Amino acid sequence: MTDFCSDDRASDGGIPCDKTPTICRATNIPPALARLSAPPAARLPVNRCNLPAEALASLAFQLAPVDLEVDGVQPLHRPLFERLSLVDDATARAQLFMHYMTAHFLLDDAPAQGLTEHARIDRSRLDYLRLLRGWLFDSEGREGAVLKSWVESRFGLLTGFHRGPLGDGDCPARTAFEHERAAGLYGTGALEAQVDLLYAYAQHELARRHAGKRHLTLYRGISGRDALATLAPLPDGRNAVLLNNLSSFSASRERAGEFGDRVMECAVPLPKVLAFARLLPGRLQGEDEYLVIGGVAAVRRVD
């Protein structure tokens, strides 16, 4: 297995070389370590994408990622992506995407979504934009529960932390989490389907903005001895850890340091990025924040 996740190009202009010290180096990682994945209790036997949870949550996936696709999204919305491919300006693409979302999901027509004057709760305004803003404000809030439950459904990775560790089975913490995500989804206009398309659009944008790359170097601030479950040390000095099914990372090492007493660096596969603050210019406020889908990852402490 060989991994290429650097911007550096070979001298002949071909595929990138893997000599840069900050990138993934799969050649010196034993196969048994590369096969490390989220434990069975942290994943579901089925999901709604093109890889099973055990595979996409593995260290091998980080070392040599492949594209992830949520079932049915690309065929259903093919006309959108055909139009996006013809637009060179990122801001214009974002405007096209947002107009499409409004039209397809009737986001400006609450009655068409089923809202009546007798509705007990008006949830028509909880759309993908408010969901992202809610996460950027507080990833442990209701919007965070909805997004983490979306990862569970689509990728089969169970939430391990939301306001605190979630136990297995019907423990009170997990029951409270499931109640919160149900409350967040109640009465909304196909909110999970909106996130499906948001993820597909983010992947389209990442491929265009980072052509030829398979990873981004991102940072996360952590606090507490048990902030992350360390699975194994790696020969290159990094550690294999188990990330929550959805976490915030930053493109800025300094910014990440504001959120913890330690900072870890991770080569995040592009297919693991759900969304990022600069995806929709002018609509999201964030400090180079990225929403990263979890699993086993090799990280290095850099503080």
Q: What is the rounded distance in angstroms from the CA atom of residue 48 to the CA atom of residue 50? A: 7
In a domain, residue 106? The reply is: yes
Domain that holds residue 186: 73-207
Task: Tell me how far CA of residue 164 lies from CA of 33, 97, 140, 159, in angstroms.
Answer: 28, 35, 9, 11
Total domains in the fold of the chain: 1
In a domain, residue 96? The reply is: yes
Per-residue 3-state assignment (H helix, E strand, C coil) for 9-38: ECCCCCCECCCCCCCCCHHHCCHHHHCCCC
What is the per-residue pLDDT for 285? Answer: 72
What is the per-residue pLDDT for 168? Answer: 74
Q: pLDDT higher for 252 or 118?
A: 252
Report pTM: 0.88
Average pLDDT over residues 3-31: 45
Chain segment 280-289, per-residue pLDDT in tens:
988 877 668 9
Q: pLDDT higher for 36 or 7?
A: 36
Burial grade of 294 (CB within 10 A; 0-12, 13-18, 19 or more): buried
- Lowest-confidence segment of 75-79, 94-98, 186-190, 205-209 by average pLDDT: 186-190
In a domain, residue 174? The reply is: yes
Lookup result for tokens 């259903």:
76
Chain segment 82-98, per-residue pLDDT in tens:
999 999 999 999 999 99
Joined together, the tokens standing for residue 53 give 């949870």
In a domain, residue 200? The reply is: yes
